[in-house]
Structure 1
Amino acid sequence: MSAHAGEPHSYWIETAPPGRLQPPLDADVTVDVAVAGGGIAGLSTAWELARSGRRVAVLEADRIAAGVTGHTTAKLSALHTLVYARLRRTRGPDAASLYARSQTEAIRRAVGIADELGIDCDWEESVAFTYAQDPAHADELRAEADAARQSGLPARYVTETGLPFPVAGAVRVTEQAQFHPRKYLLALADDLLRQGARIYERTRVVDLKEGEPCRLTTEGGATVTAADVVVATHYPVFDRALLFTRLSPRRELVLAAPIPSGLDPHGMYITPEQGTRSLRTAPYRDGQRLLVITGEHFTPGAGDVSARFGRLADWAEEHFGPLTFTHRWATQDNDSTDSVPLVGPLHAGSRHAYVATGFGGWGLSGGIMAGRLLTELITGGKAPWSDLYDPRRIRTVVGEAPAFLRHQAQVARHFVGDRLATASGGSVPDIAPGDGAVVRVGAHHCAVHRDENGRLHAVSARCTHLGCLVAFNPAERTWECPCHGSRFAPDGHVVQGPATRPLQQREI
């Protein structure tokens, strides 16, 4: 099967209304709360704040609900692979219980909002499974089932699932859900506008001045003055909190193919084996379901993405038989070094700036949870789980230090090693059409892409975030930073932060 089978588009974006384009910010405005980022965390926070009576403005660098949230697998679950046994070990039983409560409350909140607003978002109650095929992992799954149940989830250990292949064991949790994330968020945005909130698309935020009030500056020079600011840009675009030392970005691939409804495994599944395999189905045509498969976790800018798509496709066909893939896309997640999202004050000195990040692939329940938590903080309250997610929390030696050190070592390898590896790198004539490479031109590292017509496009190879060297991803036609996950188009403009400035143009 071709690694490129299927249209290179997200099913969620293709099958939702495009939404009315909101104007970019072109003049200074003043509101109560400014929210940077129009994904699940940003829009959920803005909606909750507007409901509390606050005047809100949302600023999105591209289109709302079209970034990471528009490219998710769209599971709404409190079973997050193998998190509960680890939380009980590193943060204690109370922390694990608060985590389960907060994520479960997020699912219930989404149900309530969808019902209240009459949102048609393909909502389906489902069962979540974390499984393994290798018997060596059975004890780990038993421990996770026990930890999840003791934390308050309706969890149990099973050896039978709806998958078309045997498993060594699985954690099974009922009362979970799956839905169409973009349909849900576009309806949420429409209700935001009805409440008088403002949404500005294609408005990139580049600077934040904290104070009373705070001020956000956009790429076009316009400013937003607000009593409070929420940074919900997936990866924070402001480094003053040094959160980049506690976040590790990873990309993952998604394939979708219709299957007969009789082959539906009736559940949402994930395994950490084989670089992670995750799957669910979605409503499709009469007599069919759409199988959505995610996997091949890897560092941005690392590995042959086309080959990874091929491996994921081969795995899918090995387990489900011949498939006709209709869609393929990729997404990006940020893992915190202690497996718990960072939601709360932006840094130790913050009084009016807040952040939501580090959802580790579970941004749907996490983003909805963040909306409730941040609204409580901004309006003078405090959620029971605020301390659990507080970005200012003291790192635990057992829980966070090993992952923190591994992440810093990886960044150091890229920052130093990539420069050494490319010091005598390839030459421009060797770059094939559709490909790209980092080459030395005089004293500079240049990121050079040759398009399908043979034209060369050269930009600086130094990421404008913190200066790591980018690498080319030919499957997605992007330059990617392996240190903190910034992504750029061949002409250098920012596709995904934390970078806010484009790669500089170069002559070769």
Structure 2
Amino acid sequence: MAATAQTAGSLWTQYDPGPEYPALTSDIRMDAAVIGGGMAGICAAWELTRTGRRVALVEADRIAFGVTGHTTAKLSALQGTAYSSIRRTRGAVCAQQYAASQQAAVEHVRRLAEDLGLDCEMELTDAYTYVTDPEHTDGIEEEADAARAAGLDAAYVDDVPLPFPTAAAVRLGGQMQFHPRKFLLGLAAELVRHGGRIYERSRVTDLLEGRPCRLTTSAGHTVRADDVVVATHYPVFDRALLFTRLEPKREVVVAGPLPPGSHFPDGMFLTAEDNTRSLRTAPQDGQGRMLIVTGEKFTPGDRKDVGAAARFAALSRWARERVADFTVTHRWAAQDNFTTDHVPYVGRLHPLSDHCYVATGFGGWGLSGGVMSGRLLAGLITGTPSPWSELYEPARLHPLTEVPALLRLQAKAAKHFVGDRLPGGRADTVDDIGPGAGAVLRGRGEGPQAVHRDASGALHRVSARCTHLGCIVHFNEAETTWECPCHGSRFGVDGDVLQGPAVHPLEPVDADSDADSDVDDHG
């Protein structure tokens, strides 16, 4: 298939962008402020608005467009092999609490969509965690047992309705797939109708805790609020050093129309085999259905990785080999953060915080996690904590199960911080950077530079030091972005922040500076 047949963009973000909300242009005083306009942020703002509080939601770009706009939009309490993992690391009671909170999130979305009349392509269906290798069925049996013990009506099955051979699966009925932007744009409209405020293109760059707390945007305007929720996917204000316990991972997604007359079974399907494979279908404007396939986890910005382009190719090839006549028409990538014990961090921003809260670390399940966290945080703020608040408390640390993973993450970040500053590239000068490619140049002038040559041949130069903690970014040619391998910040070729935890753009550099002496990494 020719590359020109593909659209670089998710199915969800191509939907009508909806009303454009204003930027924050003056100082305001509110009861509560929420930073971040994705699933977690909009749900938190909605739940707080329902209590009668005056709430401002502040988003750096457009609401429901970032991470939430690039998911595969599966809402399920069955999440891979989460229950056997949580039972091993946190115990049976925690697994039960996790199951109850996640299933409650699925049901809450269904009720909201029905009660508010949100047309979001909601479809109830079965969720499957499957394997194709018979040697892996023991893990499936363990997960089915753990999910049932946690209170879910899960079943072990050896008949999986996929168009290719499988060995076994866990099946859970009554789960949901939907159009996340249609849901969130509708919920945002209800939020405003009930008195909430939404500000887009207003990046928050500073948080001063107190009573009230004070947020400051890059334009210098402030929001004073009694309570603040940081729902920026990766916390841009990390007073509890959660970045030491979060691992960013990126996955690629391909989609295309199912051939006329073909049938793909109803259901949401996931396996950890082949570096993760996830499949679901979605309606296509009344013209059949689209197949959506996700997989190929990798660390953003890792220069030793095979690269996003190779990941897209591998996933497309895998899908075409299993679904006859499947053609990829759309491709995009999604990013999420994984905690050291497989349970998100939702609660107080740090142990001494009374009025600042955080939601992060959803591990690929940010839709159910975002709904859950919105309800949990609203309960903490209003003095009615949920039964599972302790489960998600960010300050938790379990030495026997978490410390090895924590040390591994810190060793990995330290390796990038030091090792990526050492020479060892595949080019000699800026002349070796071809159109569409990028490289980090080890110049003597203003430090390492991130240089991209666009299709016209023009060069774009910015500092290669991530503005979060100073790690060196690397180029993702498939998505034309600079990415930090330490904590997952992403930037445009001119340095603009695309994804945090960074809140400041890459520094501009002088185009005439001496930075052509050594090229370390290029797309």
> Which bin holds the TM-score, normalised by the shorter protein?
over 0.9
Q: Provide the C-alpha distance between the structure 1 equivalents of 2:287 and 2:265, rounded to a whole number of angstroms.
A: 14
Q: Tell me what 1:290 maps to.
A: 290
Matched residue of 1:12: which SS? coil
Residues 230 and 358 in structure 2, CA contact (< 8 A), matched pair in contact too: yes
Shift of residue 286 of structure 1?
A: 4.8
Shift of residue 64 of structure 1?
A: 0.1
Q: Provide the C-alpha distance between the structure 1 equivalents of 2:221 and 2:435, rounded to a whole number of angstroms.
A: 39
Confirm whether residue 244 of structure 1 aligns to residue 243 of structure 2. Answer: yes
Q: Tell me what 2:517 maps to.
A: none
Q: Tell me what 1:357 maps to.
A: 360
Matched residue of 1:27: which SS? coil
Confirm whether residue 375 of structure 1 aligns to residue 378 of structure 2. Answer: yes
Q: Provide the C-alpha distance between the structure 1 equivalents of 2:286 and 2:188, rounded to a whole number of angstroms.
A: 30
- Give the one of 413, 416, 427 matched to 2:415: 413
Q: Provide the C-alpha distance between the structure 1 equivalents of 2:392 and 2:403, rounded to a whole number of angstroms.
A: 17
Q: Tell me what 1:265 maps to.
A: 265
Q: Tell me what 1:328 maps to.
A: 331
Q: Provide the C-alpha distance between the structure 2 equivalents of 1:261 and 1:225, rounded to a whole number of angstroms.
A: 57
Q: Tell me what 1:434 maps to.
A: 436
Q: Provide the C-alpha distance between the structure 2 equivalents of 1:405 and 1:138, rounded to a whole number of angstroms.
A: 31
Q: Tell me what 1:216 maps to.
A: 215
Shift of residue 89 of structure 1?
A: 1.4
Q: Tell me what 1:163 maps to.
A: 162
Q: Tell me what 2:484 maps to.
A: 481
Q: Tell me what 2:231 maps to.
A: 232
Shift of residue 421 of structure 1?
A: 3.8
Identity rate of aligned residues, in percent? 59
Q: Tell me what 2:460 maps to.
A: 457
Q: Provide the C-alpha distance between the structure 2 equivalents of 1:41 and 1:421, rounded to a whole number of angstroms.
A: 41
Q: Give the partner amino acid of 2:88.
A: R
Q: Provide the C-alpha distance between the structure 2 equivalents of 1:4 and 1:10, rounded to a whole number of angstroms.
A: 16
Q: Tell me what 2:309 maps to.
A: 306
Q: Give the partner amino acid of 1:496.
A: Q
Residues 65 and 181 in structure 2, CA contact (< 8 A), matched pair in contact too: yes
Q: Give the partner amino acid of 1:256.
A: A
Q: Provide the C-alpha distance between the structure 2 equivalents of 1:254 and 1:5, rounded to a whole number of angstroms.
A: 15
Q: Tell me what 1:348 maps to.
A: 351
Aligned length: 506
Q: Give the partner amino acid of 2:440.
A: V
Q: Give the partner amino acid of 2:441.
A: V
Instruction: Specify whether residues 261 and 171 from structure 1 end up closer, same or farther in structure 2 by C-alpha distance, changes over 3 A only.
Output: farther
Matched residue of 2:8: which SS? coil
Matched residue of 2:420: which SS? helix
Q: Tell me what 2:387 maps to.
A: 384
Residues 3 and 306 in structure 1, CA contact (< 8 A), matched pair in contact too: no
Residues 346 and 353 in structure 1, CA contact (< 8 A), matched pair in contact too: yes
Counterparts of residues 15-414 of structure 1 (less than 5 Å): 15=15, 17-259=16-258, 260=260, 262-284=262-284, 286=286, 288-302=288-302, 303=305, 304-398=307-401, 400-414=402-416
Q: Give the partner amino acid of 1:412.
A: A
Residues 133 and 167 in structure 2, CA contact (< 8 A), matched pair in contact too: yes
Shift of residue 425 of structure 1?
A: 6.3
Shift of residue 99 of structure 1?
A: 0.2
Shift of residue 93 of structure 1?
A: 0.7
Q: Provide the C-alpha distance between the structure 1 equivalents of 2:458 and 2:173, rounded to a whole number of angstroms.
A: 54
Residues 422 and 439 in structure 1, CA contact (< 8 A), matched pair in contact too: no
Q: Give the partner amino acid of 2:137.
A: A
Matched residue of 2:56: which SS? strand
Q: Provide the C-alpha distance between the structure 2 equivalents of 1:382 and 1:421, rounded to a whole number of angstroms.
A: 52
Give CA deviations for 1:415-462 in whole Å, capped at 9, x if unaligned.
Answer: 111111458964211000110000111151110011111111111100
Q: Provide the C-alpha distance between the structure 2 equivalents of 1:8 and 1:275, rounded to a whole number of angstroms.
A: 22
Q: Give the partner amino acid of 1:431.
A: I
| Segment of structure 1 superposing worse, 1-10 or 293-302 | 1-10
Instruction: Specify whether residues 2 and 292 from structure 1 end up closer, same or farther in structure 2 by C-alpha distance, changes over 3 A only.
Output: same
Q: Give the partner amino acid of 1:253.
A: V
| Segment of structure 1 superposing worse, 150-159 or 366-375 | 150-159
Q: Provide the C-alpha distance between the structure 2 equivalents of 1:452 and 1:47, rounded to a whole number of angstroms.
A: 43
In the alignment, structure 2 segments of 5+ residues that lack a partner are: 514-523
Shift of residue 5 of structure 1?
A: 4.4
Instruction: Specify whether residues 94 and 53 from structure 1 end up closer, same or farther in structure 2 by C-alpha distance, changes over 3 A only.
Output: same
Shift of residue 395 of structure 1?
A: 2.4
Q: Provide the C-alpha distance between the structure 2 equivalents of 1:179 and 1:168, rounded to a whole number of angstroms.
A: 28
Matched residue of 2:31: which SS? strand
Q: Provide the C-alpha distance between the structure 2 equivalents of 1:2 and 1:170, rounded to a whole number of angstroms.
A: 35
Instruction: Specify whether residues 242 and 168 from structure 1 end up closer, same or farther in structure 2 by C-alpha distance, changes over 3 A only.
Output: same
Instruction: Specify whether residues 402 and 135 from structure 1 end up closer, same or farther in structure 2 by C-alpha distance, changes over 3 A only.
Output: farther
Q: Provide the C-alpha distance between the structure 1 equivalents of 2:261 and 2:277, rounded to a whole number of angstroms.
A: 21
Q: Provide the C-alpha distance between the structure 1 equivalents of 2:352 and 2:217, rounded to a whole number of angstroms.
A: 23
Instruction: Specify whether residues 13 and 28 from structure 1 end up closer, same or farther in structure 2 by C-alpha distance, changes over 3 A only.
Output: same
Shift of residue 467 of structure 1?
A: 0.5
Q: Provide the C-alpha distance between the structure 1 equivalents of 2:316 and 2:426, rounded to a whole number of angstroms.
A: 36
Q: Give the partner amino acid of 1:110.
A: V
Residues 60 and 202 in structure 2, CA contact (< 8 A), matched pair in contact too: yes
Q: Provide the C-alpha distance between the structure 1 equivalents of 2:475 and 2:25, rounded to a whole number of angstroms.
A: 34
Matched residue of 2:19: which SS? coil
Q: Provide the C-alpha distance between the structure 1 equivalents of 2:344 and 2:391, rounded to a whole number of angstroms.
A: 9
Residues 158 and 170 in structure 1, CA contact (< 8 A), matched pair in contact too: yes
Q: Provide the C-alpha distance between the structure 2 equivalents of 1:421 and 1:411, rounded to a whole number of angstroms.
A: 18
Q: Provide the C-alpha distance between the structure 1 equivalents of 2:95 and 2:4, rounded to a whole number of angstroms.
A: 41
Q: Tell me what 2:516 maps to.
A: none
Q: Provide the C-alpha distance between the structure 1 equivalents of 2:131 and 2:395, rounded to a whole number of angstroms.
A: 35
Q: Give the partner amino acid of 2:278.
A: S
Give CA deviations for 1:208-251 in whole Å, capped at 9, x if unaligned.
Answer: 00011100010100000000000000000012210100110011
Residues 3 and 310 in structure 1, CA contact (< 8 A), matched pair in contact too: no
Q: Provide the C-alpha distance between the structure 1 equivalents of 2:70 and 2:215, rounded to a whole number of angstroms.
A: 27
Give CA deviations for 1:343-384 in whole Å, capped at 9, x if unaligned.
Answer: 000001100000000000000000000011000000011100
Q: Provide the C-alpha distance between the structure 2 equivalents of 1:467 and 1:297, rounded to a whole number of angstroms.
A: 24
Q: Tell me what 2:6 maps to.
A: 6
Q: Provide the C-alpha distance between the structure 2 equivalents of 1:348 and 1:183, rounded to a whole number of angstroms.
A: 36
Instruction: Specify whether residues 261 and 198 from structure 1 end up closer, same or farther in structure 2 by C-alpha distance, changes over 3 A only.
Output: farther
Instruction: Specify whether residues 426 and 346 from structure 1 end up closer, same or farther in structure 2 by C-alpha distance, changes over 3 A only.
Output: farther
